[in-house]
A and B are shown apart, each in its own frame.
Chain A
Amino acid sequence: MSLDTSRFIAEHVEALKPSGIRRFFDLASTMENVISLGVGEPDFVTPWNVIEASYHSLEQGYTAYTANAGLMELRELISDYLKTTYAVTYRPADQVIVTVGASQAIDIALRAILNPGDEVIIVEPCFVAYASAVSLAGGVPVSVGTKAENGFKLQPEELENALTSKTKAIILCNPNNPTGTMLNREELLPIAELVEEHDLLVLSDEIYAELSYEADYVSFSSLPNMQDRTILISGFSKSFAMTGWRLGYAAGPAELIQAMTKIHQYTIMCAPTMAQYGAVEALRSGSASVEHMRKSYRQRRNFVTSAFEEMGLMTNRPGGAFYIFPSIKETGMTSEAFAEALLIEEKVAVVPGSVFGESGEGYIRCSYATSMKQLTEAMKRIKRFVEKQNA
């Protein structure tokens, strides 16, 4: 008999649930001619000037490590960017760290702040990694579900009900993946009050901030008294279509960023150097390419919103990101059954809302980061599918 190696796996890792997305990925991968609305990344290729700048850095031989917290030049540009865009001030020297994607920023932020048993509020439906990242850091994830009738916006009383003496932090993703919901200043302020009242910290995942389509984006850190209580997490993946480069950053109080840097230096050393040089160019060249992509996403958002309304699937008009989260409750199916049947019968891949948390049951996440041609065809197929279910 061969050795049972699984007994070497740590219990807390064994206990982690595999991501529900994985199963769908496996299923969709085996099929041909699938139109995928299941992709959580831009359909644009990284702007050419960014690619070219990264090439150039390689040609020049910039292939060594950078400082643990990232190139000073890049941290300065991030600091300038946050100041001009969201009116928040961070010192490049000790309040900004460049990470391997925003995901790593979330990981080291949690590891830097959590003692065993500390609770972290997770606002669902949300990005699949938060709860596991909290567990891996020794914390206890506490879910707070949001409701469609509130536009999937976190209600202060729902948050307050979930707070205990052990609550240490809240992870807030604004604009939200998977709902596309964006909280404005008025909606964020009562949350900030609770944060202060209960002496909490906020991990503000602002990776989709550049992709907001209605009001001006308000960073949680810019709210009164919140800069000392916020670890602002963002990156280049969504705004500059740089997902594969794995480059993000965190900005926050110096003590916390330094604690994160300690973990970062022992586990990663630094973010990839050529990606950092690409990011320098991305921030230097400014907003023209971002503006172009944002406009295109907004047009596609308008298109899919009206298409779902027309087929009778209730949906909130997304304020940001590139997701729409329509209800499929009318069909009487579970999210998973709906998504699976849609994939098999019409070859359209969407992600069942339930993988983003219990409150996502009854919804599907459709990414509109795909061409108008594909979107038009996908909407046609989903419409046909829904009509068949209702017949």
Chain B
Amino acid sequence: MDKKEIEILELLEKNGRMDVHMIARMVELSVEEVEAAISKFEEMQIVHGYSTLIDWTEVRGHEGVTAMIDVKVTPIRGKGFDDVAERIYRFPEVKAVYLMSGAYDLSVSVEGKTMSQVARFVSEKLSTLDTVISTTTHFILKKYKHDGIIFGEDDNNDRRMPVSP
């Protein structure tokens, strides 16, 4: 991966909607070269998609709840944690699953419309799995910053004077 390819990835990571013409100018490549690089990233599964970061708490009636669940599991001989993880991440309400070092094994992020919906998922789906030993559920009260973006930050916060030497 060369320097310019890394730059393209960094630009897309910040803004998945950035126009290829603009990227081409910024990294001094042709539009075709940028398009080829992006196709390559997609094929190599370096780029997994282009999602949009939405603050649902600002959309009335769609606020929803998110829980971070610490899950202790018994790893299965020969397969480790991967099988358990898969059984969990296949559920559509599960947004993220990470294998963790420390006091528990899997960190599971679950989204639901209401707290009781998430609670039902934990008690009915997650804790009933054979390999799951215990769960600890933490509900997120407020998101300040997500994926490097600070929520609620004013876009027009340029405090500079309009002309200066």
Contact = CB atoms under 8 A, between A and B. Distances in A.
A21 interface: yes
Contact of B162 (A39, A43, A128): A39
Tell me which of B11, B26, B162 has the highest count of chain A C-beta atoms within 10 A of its own C-beta. Answer: B162
Contacts of A299: 7, 11, 26-27
Interface in A10-37: 19, 21, 24-25, 28-29, 34, 36
B97 to A, nearest CB: 30
Tell me which of B11, B22, B27, B165 has the highest count of chain A C-beta atoms within 10 A of its own C-beta. Answer: B165
Nearest to B158: A43
| Range, interface on chain B | 10 to 19
Interface string B48-79: 00000000000000000000000000000000
Contacts of A349: 162-163
Contacts of B22: 303, 372, 376
Contact of A29 (B25, B27, B158, B162): B162
Given A41-B160, A299-B7, A129 B26 contact: no
A307 B28 CA distance: 12
Given A295-B7, A299-B7, A299-B11, A40 B26 contact: no
Interface in A258-290: none
A40 B25 contact: no
A294 interface: no
A306 B25 contact: yes
A353 interface: no
A28 B161 CA distance: 10
A188 B54 CA distance: 52
B164 A40 contact: yes
A105 to B, nearest CB: 16
Interface in A291-313: 295, 299-300, 302-303, 306-307
Contacts of B160: 36, 39, 41, 43
Interface string B118-137: 00000000000000000000
B41 to A, nearest CB: 18
A307 B25 contact: yes
A127 B165 CA distance: 7
Contacts of B28: 302, 306
A38 B162 CA distance: 6
B25 A24 contact: no
A43 B157 CA distance: 10
Contacts of A24: 163
Tell me which of B7, B27, B28 has the highest count of chain A C-beta atoms within 10 A of its own C-beta. Answer: B28
A351 interface: yes
A124 to B, nearest CB: 14
B165 A40 contact: yes
Interface string B24-41: 011110000000000000
A134 B7 CA distance: 44
Contact of B165 (A36, A129, A295, A370): A129
Nearest to B157: A45
A238 to B, nearest CB: 12
Contacts of A41: 160, 164
A300 B28 CA distance: 11
A36 B28 CA distance: 25
A29 B27 CA distance: 34
Nearest to A295: B7
B165 A28 contact: no
A187 B45 CA distance: 47
Contacts of A19: 165
A302 B164 contact: no
A28 B158 CA distance: 15
A29 B161 CA distance: 8
Tell me which of A29, A41, A303, A349 has the highest count of chain B C-beta atoms within 10 A of its own C-beta. Answer: A303
Query: Which 4 pairs across A and B sit closest by C-beta, in order of nearness?
Result: A38-B163, A299-B26, A25-B163, A28-B162
20 contacts: A21-B164, A21-B165, A28-B163, A29-B162, A36-B160, A36-B162, A38-B162, A38-B164, A39-B163, A39-B164, A128-B165, A177-B165, A299-B11, A302-B25, A302-B27, A307-B25, A349-B162, A351-B163, A372-B22, A372-B26
Given A25-B164, A306-B28, A372-B22, 7 more contacts: A25-B163, A34-B162, A41-B160, A128-B165, A302-B27, A349-B162, A376-B22
Interface of A: 19, 21, 24-25, 28-29, 34, 36, 38-41, 43, 127-129, 177, 295, 299-300, 302-303, 306-307, 349, 351, 370, 372, 376
